[in-house]
């Protein structure tokens, strides 16, 4: 499953902790945006770990993208979407 995770965390320490958690699951494409290619159980583990970091004044979003949506992602001056099987149709 391809998941884009983005966050808005005002506290520097929590923001850094969230970034470290996400670095273990995917690639950073912007300061607070990660692209993760995960299995269902890995998504659950990621959500569990992040739930221990974020607080009520933080914002966290998960965007689950299908293969057709991923194929239509456009990038300008950034890293391309990492196309790893089995989530991408060739």
pLDDT digits (tens, 9 = 90+) for 48-74: 999 999 999 999 999 999 888 888 888
Total domains in the chain come to: 1
Tell me if 73 sits within 8 A of 81, measured CB to CB: yes
Chain centroid, CA 19 distance in Å: 10
Confidence of residue 87 (pLDDT cuts 50, 70, 90): very low
The pLDDT, as a whole number, for residue 80 is: 79
- The answer to whether residue 87 is domain-embedded is no
Q: What is the arithmetic mean of pLDDT over 13-34?
A: 95
- The answer to whether residue 89 is domain-embedded is no
- Beta strands 2-8 and 59-65 are antiparallel
The pLDDT, as a whole number, for residue 75 is: 85
- The answer to whether residue 80 is domain-embedded is no
Looking at the whole model, is its pTM more than 0.75? yes
Instruction: Tell me the sheet residues that pair with 60.
Output: 7
CATH number assigned to the domain comprising residue 23: 3.30.70.240
| Residue 90 pLDDT greater than 60, yes or no | no
Tell me if 35 sits within 8 A of 29, measured CB to CB: yes
């Amino acid at each position: 499953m391809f998941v884009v995770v983005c966050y808005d965390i005002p506290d520097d320490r929590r923001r850094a902790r969230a970034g470290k958690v996400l670095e273990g699951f995917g690639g950073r494409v912007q300061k607070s945006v990660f692209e993760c290619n995960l299995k269902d159980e890995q998504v659950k583990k990621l959500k569990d770990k992040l739930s221990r970091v974020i607080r009520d004044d933080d914002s966290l979003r998960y965007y689950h993208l299908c293969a057709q949506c991923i194929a239509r992602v456009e990038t300008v001056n950034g890293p391309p979407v990492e196309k790893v099987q089995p989530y991408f149709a060739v």
